[in-house]
Amino acid sequence: MTHPPVPLWRQLQATAGVLAMVRAGQSGTAALTAVEPALRPGVQALSFQAWRQLGRAEALRRQLARRAPPPEVDALLCTALALCWEPAQAPYEVFTLVNQAVEAAKHGAGTRAQSGFINACLRRFLRERDALVAATDRDPVARWNHPRWWIDRLRKDHPTHWQSILAANNTPAPLTLRVNERKLPLAQYQRSLGAMNIEANQVGEQALALVRARAVPDLPGFADGQFSVQDAAAQLAAPLLLRGLEAPGRLRVLDACAAPGGKTAHLLELADADVTALDIDPARCDRIHDTLSRLGLTARVLAADAGRPADWWDGMPFDAILLDAPCTASGIVRRHPDVRWLRRESDVAQLAATQAHLLATLWPLLRPGGRLLYCTCSVFRDEGDTQIQTFVAHNTEAFLLPSPGHLMPQTGANANPVPDNPQSDHDGFFYALLEKRTPPPQAQPGP
């Protein structure tokens, strides 16, 4: 049985609803989950484009209406402007988008009375587009489609890279796979993709990036656990922590903030180890179980607060600890374009305090000679380099091993941040590998 196509006005109406929810503090993922299934694929595509152009859309709306209209009206108007302001990038013909946005307004309980206002604004935009766009070009938020505080922080943190970071954030991310080499070699899986005319390039030791994205369940071997979806930068974590690490017996590894389980699984794919995976949210722990089950892997999964070891630690030191700390997610904006509009400037300091607490709390759980890998999917220095330099300065046992440091989205901070990845097509991350060493005795003062 075939279903009639969903009218565009309904998709625009739902997209505006998603935008309103994000503005109210809901994550884009949760907002999209609330959309009825028949609408969801189209609404997700439209929402991603609207988030990537929201700064420009809001600046244009201020040109068209100095006083902000009611939230539902503003969300629909800004959605339409975000999608149609640049005709070359519009998902539909611009006049069609305008007509369907007005139609959406007529069908909405909160927008029906303002449909004439929306129509007038959008028709004026069509008539005066060039002048209105030129008037917003001077606004950095419109130019870069990020909050002003975010732009200012990047300029301070990365004075030679800030523009490329912002530009990368507004591009779609590739679909990158991590091949489970406990199941089959990467080259063999690449041939399986080729047999289905799916082109993929190797971008890491176990990483393949698809030239064109495909529905993940439709890829060969998904149900059998032959691969996982994981960005090339995130795939650095497990090899960094494990490579060259020796232990007197079977490795004891802690993944301290593990959900949804991608890095936990990678650790188990690379090493025969006893892995404890923590997450504070029981529902997210279910996702860890699901991830490991599909891949045929086993770990000790606990719903617990990593910052309260007395509640879950058995007193036996760990050989290795992976601390993928909660952060602003400022490095994965191209995958989650709503993040920039959800975060507030004050979040950076609050999250940095949480990161410092976790570092200080978990470090005593590491055996002498063991390693702790601190990482965040952030490009802000307060969550990366500054955090680690402060920790090392206050912990004489902490020795910083060669580490990638800050990786910028698509334009790695180091010469070759991801092996075999000349395009450096990866998310923004920070990595610092710490080894616990006994400090040398201090020289005693002479007589």
Catalytic sites, residue numbers = 377
- 């097509």: which residue's tokens? 425
Strands (DSSP E) found in 111-199: 176-179
How does DSSP classify residue 318?
E
- Which residues sit opposite 178 in a β-bridge? 207, 228
Is the Cβ–Cβ distance between 227 and 295 less than 8 Å? no
The two beta strands, 176-179 and 207-210, are antiparallel
- Which residues sit opposite 303 in a β-bridge? 279
Q: What Cα–Cα distance (Å) separates residue 362 from each residue in 155, 255, 275, 308?
A: 32, 11, 15, 9
Q: How many C-beta atoms surround the C-beta of residue 184 within 10 A? A: 16
Considering only the C-alpha atoms of the chain, give the largest distance between any 2 of them, rounded to a whole number of Å: 95
Report how far residue 416's alpha carbon sits from residue 48's, in angstroms, rounded to the nearest whole number: 30
Q: What Cα–Cα distance (Å) separates residue 254 from each residue in 183, 238, 363?
A: 24, 12, 11
3-state secondary structure (DSSP) of residue 228: strand
Q: Structure tokens of 107? A: 């069908």
CA atoms within 13 A on the CB side of 264: 30
In degrees, rounded to 5, the angle at the alpha carbon of residue 117 between the alpha carbons of residues 112 and 122 is: 115
- 């989650």: which residue's tokens? 336
CA atoms within 13 A on the CB side of 51: 32
Q: 428: buried, middle or exposed (CB in 10 Å: 19+, 13-18, 0-12)? A: buried
Q: Structure tokens of 118? A: 């929306």
